[in-house]
Amino acid sequence: MKATPAASVVVILLVVATHPSNGVKVWVPHVSFSDAANWVSANLPTAGQTIVFPSKLNALVSFPVGIWTVSSLILPQQGGLLFPDHSFSLNVVSRDPAAISVAIFNAPGRTPYYSGSNWATYDEQRSTHSTPNAAVPHSERVPCQYELVVFEVGKNMPKPIDMQYHESIEVGNVRFGDTIEGLDSFHNFMSSELGQFLFYNAEDTLIRQGKCANADKCPCQEPRQMDAICSNVRCTVPHCLSPIHPPGHCCPICGSWFRMDMATIKGVFNMQTFMDKLRRKINTGEVDDSGVEFHIGVDRSAGANVVQLIIVDKGEYGEKSTRMMDSLRPFFEKQFSSGFQVTHAGQPHTPLEGGQLLAFVMLTLIVASTFFSIIYVYYYDDVLLPRLRAAVRNRQFFTTPFVFARFDPNNDVDGLSVDVTYPSAVQLANEEREESAALADDVENHHASSFNNPMYEKPAPKVDPAMEVFDDVELLVK
């Protein structure tokens, strides 16, 4: 009679053990009254201050337990304040207006539902949350169609969630705090007055059961959900020669990637045992695992059933993931005789950004144009090059037909100065007699010449050569 209950307990434990959980995703961002970062002054309110909430709070804020003394409390027009139902007291005291200081609460923004950085995986055995690392595919960072979604409510309230007008959210189940559980109850809460302060752009969004409830047979996300997830991901240029793009990742990444199709495995294959062995191998291997991050999972997209290991470097890519994957190759060869594939991202490489690429193209065009111009001038131009050669030969780089230089009219040291002083009347008479005598002596052999002053733009008048009177101008050199 006493053995029956024990047997029943054993049977129940065995049944539970043979049906593992499909996974739990927990919403991470919260709005906390006790977080100094949520206040304009970056300090928590003190006793006697005036606490001001913005008129458009658009969120739910929960007051912490305790005794609070304020001079006044300014409530929001859009939003809600939740007060504890026990161990809480709010005292309003009057003070001199000149001595009253103000504490202003920041209005929290909203963040997308389909953003992997907003979710954490809950480990029920360890009761811990683990945020996804860079190796986890984006499709597995948000709740899968067979997972339980949890919004924790306690001292803090969830940060407002933007549903981004998506048609539907497909999950296994939803739990909001300790009072709301189930898809129908949660959908009714979203439509309520309080729910609209937490879930925005969700008027036409349906919360429904995923098409597949078995994690061992179905992909985590449908293609439509993948489009919504990747719309919230900003891809950066990978700094490697051959980036890899594992299924579920929205962007190419640098790292190493192992794939093994389970349909080609001969014999019995235990996925959990393989994952445990692989984790121990990575943690105890010769290659230091502190510089890498890895993810072990199964790719079931598009009907596939492929075991995959993704290893990436922490921080900047430096081929640590490649060395780690190469150290695991003997383990893979022992587990699988053949059929597995290993892909590396190659050597580190920093591609040119948009501005750098434009500058490189312009510099290349300038260099190429200069080069071909020199070739053309050297072989085909018969005007410019001879002139350049003559200028080099005559050293006339900086000379022109007319050179004007400054000079001192009274300086005769150099022997080239010109006397431009105005002579007296006696001197003019003597000079005229000397010129007349010299003209009479050399009239037969003297050839008169004239020139136009380049500094004088007025053209010389036209005179009949037969009637022209020639005047010789002589520059005296002292």
Name the more confident of 430 and 167. Answer: 167
Strands 161-162 and 199-200: parallel
Tens digits of per-residue pLDDT, 158-194? Answer: 999 999 988 889 999 999 998 899 999 999 999 898 8
Helix (H, G, I), strand (E, B) or coil at 238: coil
Q: What residue ranges do the domains of the chain occupy?
A: 33-104, 111-230, 239-344, 354-379
* CATH T-level assignment (fold) for domain 239-344: Alpha-Beta Plaits (3.30.70)
Q: Which helix (H) or strand (E) holds 370?
A: helix 354-379
Q: Are 221 and 212 in contact (CB under 8 A)?
A: no
Give the C-alpha separation, 386 to 393, whole Å: 10
Check whether 30 has a pLDDT greater than 70. Answer: yes
Residue % of the chain over a pLDDT of 70: 73
DSSP per-residue codes, 168-195: EEEESEEEETTTEESHHHHHHHHHSTTG
| Confidence category of residue 238, pLDDT binned at 50, 70, 90 | very high
Quick one: average pLDDT of 60-80? 92
Mean pLDDT over each residue of the chain, to the nearest integer: 80
- Predicted TM-score (pTM) of the model is 0.68
Q: Are 76 and 56 in contact (CB under 8 A)?
A: yes
**Burial class of residue 322 (count of CB atoms within 10 Å of its CB; 0-12, 13-18, 19+):** buried
Helix (H, G, I), strand (E, B) or coil at 307: strand
Quick one: average pLDDT of 450-475? 55
- Beta carbons within 10 angstroms of residue 273's beta carbon: 10
Check whether 18 has a pLDDT greater than 90. Answer: no
Helix (H, G, I), strand (E, B) or coil at 330: helix
Tens digits of per-residue pLDDT, 112-136? Answer: 999 999 999 987 766 788 899 999 9
Span of 55-69, 327-341, 463-477 with lowest mean pLDDT: 463-477
Check whether 229 has a pLDDT greater than 90. Answer: yes
- Cα torsion 3, 6, 12, 18 to 10°: value is -100
Check whether 212 has a pLDDT greater than 90. Answer: no
Tens digits of per-residue pLDDT, 246-295? Answer: 999 999 999 999 999 988 888 788 888 999 999 999 988 777 888 999 99
Strands 306-313 and 256-261: antiparallel
Check whether 20 has a pLDDT greater than 50. Answer: no
pLDDT the model gives residue 336: 87
